Structure 1
Amino acid sequence: MSMNFGVSLLFAGALLATKAHAGCPQGQEAFTSCQIEGRNTEVFVCFDDQVATYSYGPIGGAPDLFLSEPVVRVDFAPWSGSGVSIFESVTFYNGDYAYNVGGGFDRPFSEEDMEHEPRRFGWVEVTESGEHAASLECIPETVSYGFGGGIYDIKVAAGLTWDLYSFTWVSDSIQPTPTSILQDSQYESVIEHCLPASEFSLGGVRMGDPLSALGKLGSPETIEDPDGRGEAIDRMTLVGMHLDIFQEEVVAMSTTSPSWEMPSGLKVGLTRGEVIRLLGRVPDGYTATSQSFTAYVCSDNPVPDPEWTMVIDFGQDKRVERIYFVSLAY
C-alpha cells in the first residue's frame, strides 16, 4: 500500500486524531475512538510499538471490556487504496467473540473539499463464532481516526507484508518456493491438486508409521468404535496432537499446536496468506479467503478416492487452527 497521498490528505487525517489520547493506556496513542450512537459508551483502540489495545465501556468510566494483542500479530486491515473514503480497522478476539473496530473519513478531492471538515464515520462489529452478534455505529463528530503510519508501519518494520487476496499479513521470512508444493493430479481428465506423501508428517511422525516406531512417544489407549463402524482403534494423545492407530499403523493425525510442523513449514498459527505462500497456490475448489483447505496425497496411479487427505482449518482470526491427516483405508 502506497503512503504517498499528498500533504493535504495526510493533514486531513491528522485533523481527525485529536480526541482519543485521554482514553489510551499510558504511553499509547490512538488508532481510532468514538462514542457509540444511542448508548452512553465509548470505544478506544490504541497502540504502541509493542501492543495494541481495545477498550469499551461507559463514557469517562472504567472499561467493561479491555483486550490486548501484540501489535505485530493483531488483525489490522489497512486501507485498500481506492474508493471515495479512507478507512481501516482492527479486530480483537476474545474466546468465541470478535470485535472489529474501524474508523474513516471521506477523501478530499478538491480545494473546496479541504475547506470543510470531512465526513467522519466509525463502527464496532461484534461476531460470535463467526456469526453476526451486534453492529454499533459511532457518533460522527466524536470519531477520532488518524490515517498514515501507525500500526501499518510497525508491522512493515517487523518484516510483514499485507496480502490483499487473503486479507492477512504474511511474514517476509516465508518465501515462495521455486515450484509449488501442490502438484497436479489427473483422474479421468479431471485435474486436481495433490500433496506429496512426504508432507503427511508432523514433527517427524508420519502417516503410515508402524506402532513399533512410536514407542518413545508413549502408549496408546484403545477407543471402542469411535466412528460407528464397529471397529476399535488405538489413540495416542500427545501434547497438542492425537494419533489414531489401526492395525498397528498410524491412520490419522490431528494437531492444534504450533509445535508440530509439516516438512514444508506448515503449522498451526500461520495466517491464511502464509499457508498459501508455503503451498505455492490455493488448492482446487477453494479461494484465498476460504475457512479450510483440503488436499489429497499424490499417487503414481491416481484413483477416485486417494488414500490420504489433509485438511487445514482456519479460525475466525484467519490463522491455522487445526491440521488434520486421515487415511480412507481404515
Structure 2
Amino acid sequence: MDLGRYRRACLGIIAALGAAQAHAACPVGQEAFTSCQIEGRNTEVFVCHDDQAANYRYGPVGGPAELVLTDTVENVDFEPWSGLGKAIHERITFYNGDYSYEVGGGFDRPFSEEEMHQDIRRFGWVDVAQNGEGVSRLECIPETVSYGFGGGIYDAKVATGLAWDDYSKTSVSAAPVQTPILKTETRYHDPGDCLPSTEFAFGFAKMGDRLTAAYHKLGSPEASSNVTLGGLKIDRMTAFGIDIDILQDVVIGMKATEPLWEMPSGLRVGLTRGEVIRILGYVPNGEEPTAEKFSALVCLDDQDTFAKWYAVIVFGQDKRVQSISFASLSP
C-alpha cells in the first residue's frame, strides 16, 4: 500500500475532528497534530507543529501550560499509522530527561453505509514513562479529541528526507543504502555475526593504538583516572565524550557518548535504531529489531587471534544510539 497516497485520500474524506478548538490553542503559524481534555483531571494536552518544530503543552483546561516541550520535526519521535485495522491512530513522543510523554490520537474509520451515519468513535491518550518504564496512562475524554489524519507531521518529516521504517519502528534517511558492514563467520563451530577490524575506531583513535599515539591525538599526555578490571589496573582517559582504556601501553577499550565520535561506516551516537540496522545490513545475532542493544565480535579473518574485540551499541529510550563501546575479551 502507498501509505502516503492513502493518507492524502483520507485527508480529503475525513475532516479533522474538533480542529477549530485545537488550532485555537496552537501558536500562530502552527497546526494541531492532536489535542484533548484528560479524563478525571481537568487538564488538557495539545501537540502542535509547523514544518520545523513540534511542541507539547500540558496543563489545566483553559489555563497556562504546566509543561512545554519542543523538538525539531526531523528529530521528534513520531509513529505514523501502519495502514492496518479499523482504527486509524498515530503517536508522537517527547523526551524530558529521564521522562517521556507519548501522545496519541485516532478514530475508527467507517466500513459500511450504516457506520457512515453513526458517530465516529474518537480516542486519545498520554503515556508517561520514566527510563522506558510506564508511570501513568492518561485517557482522553472521547468527545474532546481532535485528530486529523493525513499530511501534518508525516509530510513534514518526508520533506526533511526521512522515511518511516516499520521494521525498527523508527525514521531513517531516504538516501540509498550503503554496502552493509556486518559479516557472518563460523566461530567455535557456530555461525556468528562480526564487524571488520577497521570498524573498531572513532575518527583517529582506534583499538590497538599504542599509548603515545592515542594520548597525543587527544592532546593529553596523562591518564585522567584509572579503573580495575580482573585485578588489572587500567588507565582511563576521558575527554570530549569518549573514554579510552589503556593497558600496558595499548588501547584495549573505548566508549563514545557524543555524536562527534564516528566509526568509519558512519555509525555514531544519535542515529535511530533503523539507521543503525541499515548501516549494519541486518540485526546482529538474531536480536529483535527493537532490542535495547546490538553487539558483534571482530571478524577473525581480519585480525590476529589474540585481539578478540567486540562492539556494543546501546539505544536510549528515544530509540537512538546512546553509546557505542569497544572492548577486548582478553586484556
TM normalised by structure 2 equals 0.94
1:155-194 to structure 2, matched below 5 A, reads 155-173=157-175, 175-178=176-179, 180-194=180-194
Match of 1:139 among 122, 136, 141: 141
In structure 2, distance between residues paired with 1:208 and 1:221 = 17
Partner of 2:274: 273
User: What are the Cα deviations for residues 201-259 of structure 1, in whole angstroms up to 9, with x where unaligned?
Assistant: 001211000012121411232645433x3321211211010101000000000011100
Residues in 1 aligned to 2:157 and 2:8: alpha-carbon distance in whole angstroms = 22
Match of 1:54 in 2: 56
Contact 2:253 2:325 in 1 (8 A): yes
Q: Is the 8 Å Cα contact of residues 314 and 322 (structure 1) preserved in structure 2?
A: yes
Please say if 1:105 is aligned against 2:110.
no
1:125-161 deviation per Cα after TM superposition (whole angstroms, max 9, x unaligned): 0000110100000000000001000000011111101
Corresponding residue SS for 2:20: coil
Question: Does 2:188 align with 1:200?
Answer: no
TM-superposed deviation, 1:48: 0.6
Counterpart residue type for residue 197 of structure 2: A
CA contact (8 A) 1:90 1:102 kept: yes
Residue 324 of structure 2 is matched in structure 1 by: 323
Q: Deviations over 1:271-298 (max 9, x none)?
A: 0000000011110131111110000000
2:19 is paired with a residue of what secondary structure?
coil
Matched with 2:68 is 66
* Identity rate, percent: 56
Unaligned runs of 5+ in 2: none
Q: Summarize deviations over 1:33-55 as a string: whole Å, max 9, x none.
A: 00000011000000011110000
Whether contact under 8 Å (1:41, 1:56) holds in the other structure is: yes
Deviations 1:290-316 (A, max 9, x none): 110000000029999971010000000
Report the AA paired with residue 292 of structure 1.
K
TM-superposed CA distance for 1:67, in Å, is 0.2
Q: 1:260: Cα distance to partner?
A: 0.5
Match of 2:129 among 127, 147, 165: 127
Q: Distance in 1 between matches of 2:110 and 2:32?
A: 22
2:286 partner SS: coil
**Are the aligned partners of 1:208 and 1:251 in contact in 2 as well (CA < 8 Å)?**
yes
Distance 2:8 2:126 in 1: 29
CA distance in 2, matches of 1:43, 1:305: 57
Asked if the contact 2:59/2:66 (under 8 Å) is kept, the reply is: yes
Alignment of 1:181-260 (within 5 A): 181-214=181-214, 215-217=216-218, 218-221=220-223, 223-227=225-229, 229-260=230-261
Which amino acid letter does the alignment assign opposite residue 212 of structure 1? T
Residue 108 of structure 1: CA displacement? 1.1
Contact 1:74 1:90 (C-alpha < 8 Å) held by counterparts: yes
Say if 1:53 and 1:224 are closer, same or farther in 2 by CA, change over 3 A: closer
C-alpha contact 2:11 2:150 (8 A) present in aligned 1: no
Which of 28, 31, 43 is equivalent to 2:30?
Answer: 28
Give TM-score, length-normalised by structure 1: 0.94
**How many residue pairs align between the two structures?**
327
CA drift of 1:117 comes to 2.6
1:13 CA displacement: 4.1
Task: Give me the whole-angstrom Cα distance separating, in 1, the residues matched to 2:304 and 2:122.
Answer: 58
Partner secondary structure for residue 181 of structure 1: coil
Q: 151, 155, 160: which one pairs with 1:149? A: 151
| Structure 2 residue 265 is the aligned partner of structure 1 residue 264 | yes
Contact 2:277-2:283 within 8 A present in 1 as well = yes
Q: Which runs of 5+ in 1 are unaligned?
A: none
Shift of 1:101: 0.2
